[in-house]
A and B are shown apart, each in its own frame.
Chain A
Amino acid sequence: MKIYEALENKSIRDGILRTVRNLSYQVDKNLQKHPYLVEYAEEVRNAKKEIIANFDFWIEKAMGILQSKGVEVFYANDANEAIKVVKEIVGSKKIVVKAKSMVSEEIDLRKYLERMGNEVWETDLGELIIQLKKEKPMHSVLPALHYSEAQVAEILKKIGINGRNAEELAEGVRDFMRKKFMSANVGISGCNAFSVDSGRIFLIENEGNIRLATSLPRKYIALVGIEKILQNDRLALKSVLLQSAFFGTFPPTYININEKIEQQEMFVIFLDNGRKSTEFKEQLLCIRCGRCQLECPIFQNFGNIWGGSAYGGPMGIIWTAITEKKSELCFLSTLCGKCREICPMKIDIPEMIRELRRSIIMRK
């Protein structure tokens, strides 16, 4: 979809506006009721700054602790390397269940696994809808926010799920997915925060699908963007709490803390893909709560269509510059500064957008 098609498609705009009204109110309430969250944010920001300044040191430490626990660890310099590793682990003709993960969108993992003859399922309801529609997620946390209940019912018919209302549809999807979980060979997840101290993967969710997708299959692969690394469990936990509080749903329904267990082969892939060498270092502080997206006047019109192949919105314009390309779409920003104002990590996105523009106009 191109931006002018998206502009005509009022369901995107209506879906986002409906969501933002509700979630902004929730975020304000969360901060009022839990003022310590602001201190957490400061603490996590400082911790992440330290990691980013000494990436090599922390990555080595992270890989070391995982190896000592019997995890197979890989470092991927770019998307191709990451895909190659996953392909080798998964092989072909397998059933793969995925947790929703933006980093897997970033490397377009599902496509490659399907091409190898695997049956791949997105287990998050919104992401499943996107998978069935062959689209990209409209928002990192709410991938299908632009679809109405009636549209969702229509889409789910593709996999034989029928229902008269949201409850029946959800029940249908649960039944469908349960069979997939039980028969899956491989589970794949991203990572919301990684604790170097313990080698644990922290993941938050509201549906419970991540827990099943990462614990039931015999093989479990976690994709970890190197900026997700934090020093210890305490910081990792604070980071995921912040992510949910600033998105709007607090506390999250589930917090998963995954580590190597005896009955499961575990693989962790650290992904660089432009992160270490980027000129936009400040963006690596991002905890991907998605708040800047919903509050952005441009995002409100286009969702993730305003962005690159995976990331959209204010943070997504910069993330795209880091992992993919510098896009002229950055000129659509109004530089209104709302993203900077509401960002829990206080990332100066407008200034980076101006820098991005500067490097684009300097190109011959």
Chain B
Amino acid sequence: MIKPKLMLKFFAKNVAKTGNPLGIENARINRWWKEEQIKRRGEWLFFTGMLYQLTPYIEPLLKYIERLENSKFQEVLRMANFSRSLSAFLLSSITPRKSLEETNKILSNIYFILNSSIDVFYIPEIDTYSGILMYEFGDHDNFAMHARSVIEKLEEHGVRRIVTVDPHTTYALKNVYPKFLEVNFEVKSYIELLDPKKLSRSEEYVIHDPCYYGRYLQLSEVVREKLKKAGINYEEIRNSGKLTNCCGGPIEALAPKISKSIAEIRVNELGRSKIITMCPICLANLRRVKSNALDLSEVLFDGS
């Protein structure tokens, strides 16, 4: 395991400087909307929290960390210019183009399907990471400081309703922010708001409920309702919904090997059907062990 304090320091510094834990400027990774016709005003603010955009950079980071994971050389993480060069390294060419394209497609898919059921809009400049990782590390000070800056930007734009795309951001904005600060907005996951079209698909799927949706936010039933409405067949396993099992993702940066072993256990349990996920961290982590995991949006909207 990487020393937790070292990792936390790396993340917290990056968040303070660039707004996200990997230290890459949001403007450089948040590109899904560039080619699309988006509205800048409306009822529901589309808020990605940057997790999907960061995911393609996580795999190269983990390959790097795996080498430090159980070694005394991890002290290098302490050095300031090391952090800077790591962020630069992550931005460089090794990030697979395919996963960047997939990320953009997932986000624009979600945006446009929402657009057909609600009045949704997007302001790229105020879309930022939620800070949830610092909360999970128990670093309340840095979390609250970051949350305040997120809320201020939302307030400046008079945002009252927010639609989120991943479970971590949803939980942070909906359940954790109000514990620390006054919030005047309502938060819903896109899954609650979408109105899927009937599709004709013959494949059998299995659902991997993310822990935050399955237990903390209790949205698993909504997921199933929407899948049924879209005519998608899925099998239920014991460990789903409230009893879902973790993909290992949350500890990927501290202990990538352990995280991978957890993903292996989970993928074995899910069986051979195509896996539906709805969290970028689950998606990436389940794919690290060669599974056929897909994002919910790819199942619901692909080809539509």
Q: Identify the A interface with B (CB < 8 A).
A: 3-4, 7, 13, 17, 24-25, 28, 297-298, 300-301, 328-329, 331-338, 340-342, 354-361
Q: How far is the CA of A358 from the CA of B136 in the complex (A)?
A: 9
Does B27 belong to the interface (CB within 8 Å)?
no
Interface SS of A by simple majority? helix
Check A336–B1 contact: CB distance below 8 A. Answer: no
Instruction: State the main secondary structure of chain B at its contact with A.
Output: helix
Q: Give the total number of A-B pairs whose CB atoms are below 8 A apart.
A: 93
27 A-B residue pairings within 8 Å (CB atoms): A3-B1, A3-B258, A4-B257, A297-B245, A297-B246, A297-B265, A297-B266, A300-B265, A301-B258, A328-B3, A331-B4, A331-B251, A331-B254, A332-B254, A332-B255, A334-B211, A335-B136, A335-B250, A336-B211, A336-B215, A338-B245, A342-B243, A354-B136, A354-B138, A357-B137, A361-B4, A361-B138
Q: Which of B17-34 contact A (CB under 8 A)?
A: none
Cβ distance B246 to chain A, nearest Cβ, rounded Å: 4
* Chain B residue contacts of A28, Cβ below 8 A: 238
B262 in complex: contacting residue of A25, A298, A358, CB < 8 Å: A298
Whether A360 pairs with B70 at a CB distance below 8 angstroms is no
Q: Using Cβ atoms and an 8 Å threshold, which residues of chain B touch A355?
A: 138
* B242 close to A (CB within 8 Å): yes
Q: Which 4 A-B pairs have the closest CB atoms?
A: A358-B138, A357-B138, A336-B246, A331-B4
* A342 and B140 alpha carbons, distance in the complex (Å): 28
- Is B85 located at the chain interface by the 8 A CB criterion? no
Contact with A361, one of B5, B249, B257 (Cβ below 8 angstroms): B5
- When chains A and B are docked, how far (Å) is the Cα of A257 from the Cα of B220? 44
Q: Which residue of B lies closest to A362 (CB)?
A: B138
- Whether the Cβ atoms of A337 and B215 lie closer than 8 Å is yes
Q: A297 touching B262 by the CB < 8 A rule? A: yes
**Bound CA span A328–B70, Å:** 14
B216 interfacial by beta-carbon distance below 8 Å: yes
Given known contacts A3-B1, A297-B245, A360-B4, is B139 in contact with A334 (CB within 8 Å)?
no
Residues from chain B with Cβ under 8 Å of A328 in the complex: 1, 3-4
Min Cβ gap A110→B in Å is 30
Given contact pairs A360-B138, A361-B8, A334 touches B250 in the complex (Cβ within 8 A) = yes
Tell me the chain B residues, 125-176 only, with Cβ under 8 Å from chain A.
Answer: 135-140
Within the assembled complex, what's the spacing in Å between the Cα atoms of A28 and B242? 14
- Tell me, yes or no, whether B280 is within 8 Å of chain A by CB: no
A7 to B70 Cα, complex, angstroms: 12
B262 and A301 within 8 A (CB): yes
CB neighbours of B250 from chain A (8 A) = 334-336
Are B246 and A338 neighbours in the complex by a CB distance under 8 Å?
yes
CA distance A341 to B209 in the complex (A): 14
* Tally of contact residues, B, Cβ under 8 A: 33
Docked-complex contact B138 and A297, CB < 8 angstroms = no
Which chain A residues border B258 with CB–CB below 8 Å?
A: 3, 7, 298, 301, 332
Given A334-B246, A341-B215, A354-B138, also A7-B4 (CB < 8 A): no
Contact present for B137 and A334 (CB under 8 Å): no
A residues within 8 A CB of B70? Answer: 4
C-alpha spacing A9/B254, complex, angstroms = 20
Give chain B nearest CB distance to A89 CB in angstroms: 42
* B117: interface (CB < 8 Å): no
Residue from A7, A24, A329, A354 within 8 A of B261 (CB atoms) = A7
Beyond A332-B254, A338-B245, whether A361 also contacts B139 by CB under 8 A is yes
The verdict on A332 contacting B251 (CB below 8 Å), with A3-B1, A337-B216, A338-B243 known, is yes
Q: Contacts A28-B238, A361-B4, A361-B5 hold; do A334 and B251 have CB atoms under 8 A apart?
A: yes
Once the chains bind, are B248 and A297 in contact (CB under 8 Å)?
Answer: yes
Least CB distance from B266 to A in Å reads 8
Residues 49-104 of B contacting A (Cβ, < 8 Å):
70
Instruction: Give the docked Cα–Cα distance between A328 and B242 (Å).
Output: 28
Chain B residue at smallest Cβ distance from A356:
B138
Q: Which of B140, B238, B261, B266 has the most CB of A within 10 A?
A: B261
Residues in A neighbouring B137, C-beta threshold 8 A:
331, 357, 361
16 further A-B pairs in the complex, CB-CB below 8 A; given A335-B136, A361-B138:
A7-B257, A17-B265, A24-B238, A28-B238, A297-B262, A301-B262, A331-B1, A332-B1, A332-B251, A334-B249, A334-B251, A336-B246, A341-B242, A342-B243, A357-B136, A357-B137
CB-nearest residue of chain A to B139: A361
| Closest chain A CB from B149 CB (angstroms) | 21
A124 to B265, CA, bound (A): 30
Contacts of B140 in A (CB 8 A): 358
Which residues from chain A contact B265 at a C-beta distance below 8 Å? 13, 17, 297, 300-301
* Minimal beta-carbon separation of B152 from chain A (angstroms): 24
Q: How far is the CA of A332 from the CA of B253 in the complex (A)?
A: 10
Residues facing A in B169-222 (CB within 8 A) are 211, 215-216
CA A301 – CA B245 in complex, angstroms?
14
Smallest Cβ-Cβ distance to A342: which chain B residue: B243
Chain B residues positioned under 8 Å from A17 (CB to CB): 265
- Evaluate contact between B136 and A336: CB separation under 8 angstroms: no
Closest CB in chain B relative to A330 CB, distance in Å: 9
Q: Contacts of A340 on B, CB cut-off 8 Å?
A: 215
How many Å lie between the Cα of A301 and that of B139 in the bound state? 27
Q: List B contacts of A356 (CB < 8 A).
A: 138
